[in-house]
Structure 1
Amino acid sequence: YKIYDNKHNKGVTMNINSNTKLIGLLGQPVSQSFSPSIHNYLSQKYKKNNIYMCFEIEKNNLQNVALGIKTFNMKGCNVTIPYKVEIIPYLDKVEKNALLIGAVNTIKNVNDELIGYNTDGIGFIKSLKDEGYSLKDKKVIILGAGGACRSIAVELANHEVSYIEIRNRSEKNAKCICDLINSNFQSKTNYNIKPVEENDLNSFDILINTTPIGMESKDCPIDVNINPPKNLLVCDIVYKPHETTLLSWAKKNNLNVVYGINMLINQGLLAYEIWENIKTSEDDLKEIKNIYFNSLK
């Protein structure tokens, strides 16, 4: 595996010794991840003897990776694109919410038993609540139909949105998520493989991008010439760059936005609570955001 020394952690003194526990991020690519900054900060603050590192892995190594977590007695891992679904067969247990979602972003190693969790959707919902937004009876359009969409859609339905529409280039995953919601929740759903057009947005309260479009690029998941309805809330789970082309488009149209970094930090705090059985604080969110903004300078 390639191991990355994350540039954001410059200046962080890690007291590594013979009892230090390893926590990792599994995915591809991972070299630009901000997650080490989140978790190494938390371990330092809460005086936990951990180090968090990134591991770029190949799909055909997932079984070996699961075995490696046990062999090296790792405390746990985060899982990112593209392995949130593929990792599941190699786990010993999956928490019921993650099982329903069908994707795992957090693994805890408990006495050589790997337990899968999903904190993505809950982290996203917390980001909206932190900004004072209510979800009950709202109509939501989601771009993309991957693991992040699944977890966010389940939590939106759990929080009683009235309608979810999924826009994705291929039908299979979008239909699968709609079927999942229809079978387990009251929220109505639909999916569409066509690109978003101006008239499509008029009936929605919230637009969420769960695709990687805009990550490290100027690309936008919708046409920037669209004039959106003025009360639309626009959310992007991409956090690099901080202001994606989608969010720039939203702000130019005087819309409220929720940034991807909010979800990343919130899901990270929840994952850390799972590993350490502690409660993090609102101050942690603020402090980690400061670290993030300093890393952009």
Structure 2
Amino acid sequence: MTERIDGHTILIGLMAYPIRHSMSPTMHNNAFAKLGLNYAYLAFEITNATLPQAVDAIRTLDMRGSNISMPNKQKVMDLLDKIDPAAEMTGAVNTIVNDHGVLTGYCTDGTGFMKSLEDENLDIRGEKMTLAGAGGAGTAIAIQAALDGVKEISIVNKKDAEWENAKRNVEVINSKTKCKATLFDIDDQATFKKEIADSAIYCDATGVGMKPLEDLTLVSDPGWFRKDMIVFDTVYAPRTTKLMTVAQEAGVQHVFNGLGMMLEQGAEAFKLWTGENMPVDYIRDLLFSE
């Protein structure tokens, strides 16, 4: 790193709280080094209270941009000059690009999800998806899948703090895309099972399966799954979640954690900042090999 940094190094940030655990600085800095690009990526612990000054700093320091994570993905939208249409529909921004003082917000999470399936030679366009969760990840996945041509999305969620957002997601998808979206209460287990049975892919975009809920899964019966479907868990720590274990017991052919999505959303941001393709295979081997 010290051999690369000089008076011309361009700074990119990651603004969230907490954020010191993030793999993104390692991922991006190794990608910059591999391609010989004179950029540096640093993590900054930024809350809603300090976010306005942090966004001002992007302009003041002439940073190329920044990633944005919780709790700032929604709050940052009012501080930017432009919002990409997909991010506007999602209602969240995770990537800022600075073009000579003009800050544009993007959301690459949904693109990362779709690209991670493409990497596995899987195409869900024209198919039905059942999606659990309507938080940041679930919203981005639902919106991008609808924009990319998924025919039908059944969103299942508890009637908790995210229920209103789930209703908003359904309304946005039905009014602004050709996809048909429907919302179901996840506590209606018979309907939940039926929706999965009719789907080409089941995606869990909740926090169930990661600490402290690593021993839990929303689907515990292998009989809910077919061998020819896709089961996708956005959690990547642990590498094999309880949901993935249930799917494997059912003999499901395509079972994935969230590592590919995390990598591809980063690659999308990398391309927005640098105009170059991230060396995805290199970074995957470097960071994610067992």
RMSD: 2.0
Question: 1:272 is matched with which residue?
Answer: 270
Over residues 87-119 of structure 1, what are the superposed CA-to-partner deviations in whole Å (9 max), with x where a residue is unaligned?
Answer: 100111112222222221110111122111121
Give yes or no for the alignment of 1:145 onto 2:134.
yes
- With normalisation by structure 1, the TM-score equals 0.87
For 1:263 and 1:206, how far apart are their aligned partners in 2? 15
The answer (yes or no) to whether the contact 2:152–2:180 under 8 Å persists in 1 is yes
Q: Alpha-carbon deviation of 1:232?
A: 2.9
- 1:142 Cα shift? 1.0
Q: What is the one-letter code of the residue matched to 2:257?
A: Y
State the 1:157 CA deviation. 1.3
Residues in 2 aligned to 1:293 and 1:160: alpha-carbon distance in whole angstroms: 30
Summarize the Cα distance change of 1:55–1:249 in structure 2 as closer, same or farther, 3 Å threshold.
farther
Question: Is the CA contact 1:197–1:226 (under 8 Å) kept in the aligned structure 2?
Answer: no
What CA distance in whole angstroms lies between the structure 2 residues aligned with 1:229 and 1:175? 26
Alignment of 1:212-223 (within 5 A): 212-217=207-212, 218-223=214-219
Q: What is the CA distance between 1:147 and its match in structure 2?
A: 2.4
Aligned mates of 2:210, 2:75 — CA distance in 1 = 22
Which one of 125, 130, 135 corresponds to residue 136 of structure 1?
Answer: 125
CA distance in structure 1 between the aligned counterparts of 2:76 and 2:201, rounded to whole angstroms: 31
Contact 1:168 1:174 in 2 (8 A): yes
Alignment partner, residue 244 of structure 2: 247
Identical amino acids, percent of aligned pairs: 33
Secondary structure of the equivalent of 1:135?
A: coil
**Structure 2 equivalent of residue 203 of structure 1:** 198
What SS does the aligned partner of 2:97 have? strand
Q: 1:48 aligns with which of 34, 37, 48?
A: 37
* Structure 2 residue aligned with 1:38: 27
Following superposition, the deviation at residue 196 of structure 1 comes to 6.6
Q: After superposition, where does 1:231-246 map in structure 2 within 5 Å?
A: 231-246=228-243
Cα contact 1:27–1:56 (8 A) shared by 2: yes
User: What are the ranges of 5 or more consecutive residues in structure 1 without an aligned counterpart?
Assistant: 1-11
Checking the alignment, whether the CA contact within 8 Å between 1:135 and 1:159 is kept in structure 2 is no
Q: One-letter code of the match for 1:213?
A: V
Partner of 1:167: 156
- In structure 2, distance between residues paired with 1:123 and 1:152: 9
